[in-house]
Chain A
Amino acid sequence: MTPTRGGDAGSQDPDPGSIERIRQVLIRAVERHCPPALAAHREDLVQMALVRLLDRPRGEGSSPRGASYLWRVAYTVVIDEIRRVRRQQRQAEQLPEGEQRTPGPEARSELLECLGALQDRRRTAVTLHLEGFRTAEVAAALGWTEKQAENLVYRGLADLRACLEGGDT
């Protein structure tokens, strides 16, 4: 069965091909972006998240179960699973309260200070850019045209570099 987009997909189950594609993408994303200790468990982590997704009762929530809905839920369950695993790891390590949760004074970053000093729209655009969003994706998230997004990312990066080199933003 091929999942379709839109509201008429409410009664459809996800087809195995879609789930497999989503699984591979999630595994690659976790491998790419998570620290090695967590990335080493990427397959189990993603598998557990997808088991949760597939075992959700049919009709849960009011959203249709179309293909894009499936991607969205898969993303949220995998992030929830990453957070859950980290909580477990933290409990297992039994770190003293507060340890590893706030950076020490030496970890205070010049880059974050400069980023924080940017004008709102530039800061938001640049932060998304530094988090891997392309210009068109920044534009879609912020409701701007692609040209606006490109300008704001460009100017924001220039400000950021100037600040890091000792100039003003």
Chain B
Amino acid sequence: MTEPSDDLEQRFRAALPDADDGDCPPADAYWAAAAGELPFEQVRALVDHGATCARCAEAWRILADVRRAAASADAAETVPAARPVLGPARSRVRLRTRTLLPLAISAMSAVGLWVVLRPPSARPPPVERGGGNAPTMRAESPEVQPARDALLRWSEVPGATSYNVTVLTPDLVVLHQAVGISGRQLPLPEGVRQKAAGGEVLWNVDAVMPDGRTVASPTFELRLR
């Protein structure tokens, strides 16, 4: 076991220069390195760069978190994947049952323990995007509209105090952001209409809830005639 090195981690973070992006390796190289896809010499070069550049050290830290989460997601998915292996032949089923039953009991006990002993749930996620109990927002305005009267309209999110709308080009350059709209519609601003006339824009809405959370819509398309 390595001894705790929090103090060194803090000093390491504080010591790194805020280098320019120009020479930084692509993010995918970091993933490849962490995945063991690169020879030692290449990994060493990437790691050494991270020891001279605060931004890449930050990319490594984010990478560690993301890969850990990905690994646990993978592990969770491999359990249901075992189900189709149970074949129709009874003897095989019995054998599998005998093998899997203790595992299943252990898993259920663990889940039960977790339910009983888990810490109080953290505050709800700051942003909800589909899924769960969050209502899904829909676009209520037509997908094709004349440019001069284009209007963005969306479905209500119960309890929302206001809405924030972002309009983007198809290559995701933000054209317009409107914050704190009390209604459920936004006429497309003149500047956006001029820039996007004859083309299309993307837009999405964040509903702001009384407790500060936002419920985000999917991204919608609007084609301007």
Contacts and interface: CB of A to CB of B under 8 A. Distances in A.
A162 interface: no
B51 A29 contact: no
Interface residues of A, number: 74
B50 A83 contact: no
Minimum-distance CB pairs A-B, first 4: A109-B15, A79-B27, A71-B70, A131-B60
Nearest to A75: B66
Interface stretch (B87-95, B124-132, B145-153, B186-194): B124-132
A140 B51 contact: no
B211 interface: no
A157 B61 contact: no
Interface string A64-85: 0001100110111011101100
A78 B66 CA distance: 11
Interface of B: 1-3, 5, 8-9, 11-12, 14-21, 24, 26-28, 30-31, 33-36, 40, 43-44, 47-48, 50-52, 55, 57-70, 73-74, 77, 80-81, 125-127, 129-131, 168, 170, 172, 202, 204, 214, 216, 219
A32 B9 CA distance: 14
Residue from B52, B69, B214 with most neighbouring chain A CB atoms (10 Å): B69
Contact of B2 (A16, A67, A80, A157): A157
Most buried by A among B21, B43, B47, B48: B47
Nearest to B65: A29
Contact of A24 (B11, B55, B125): B125
B166 to A, nearest CB: 8
Interface of A: 2, 4-5, 16-18, 20-30, 32-34, 43, 47-48, 51-52, 54-55, 67-68, 71-72, 74-76, 78-80, 82-83, 86-87, 100-103, 107, 109, 111-112, 115-116, 120, 123-124, 127-135, 137, 140-143, 150, 153-154, 157, 160-161
A120 B43 CA distance: 11
A70 to B, nearest CB: 9
A26 to B, nearest CB: 7
Nearest to A32: B65
A27 B129 CA distance: 13
22 contacts: A5-B77, A29-B62, A29-B65, A32-B61, A33-B65, A47-B127, A71-B67, A75-B67, A100-B18, A102-B19, A103-B18, A109-B11, A111-B15, A123-B51, A124-B48, A127-B51, A128-B47, A131-B61, A137-B68, A142-B40, A143-B36, A157-B5
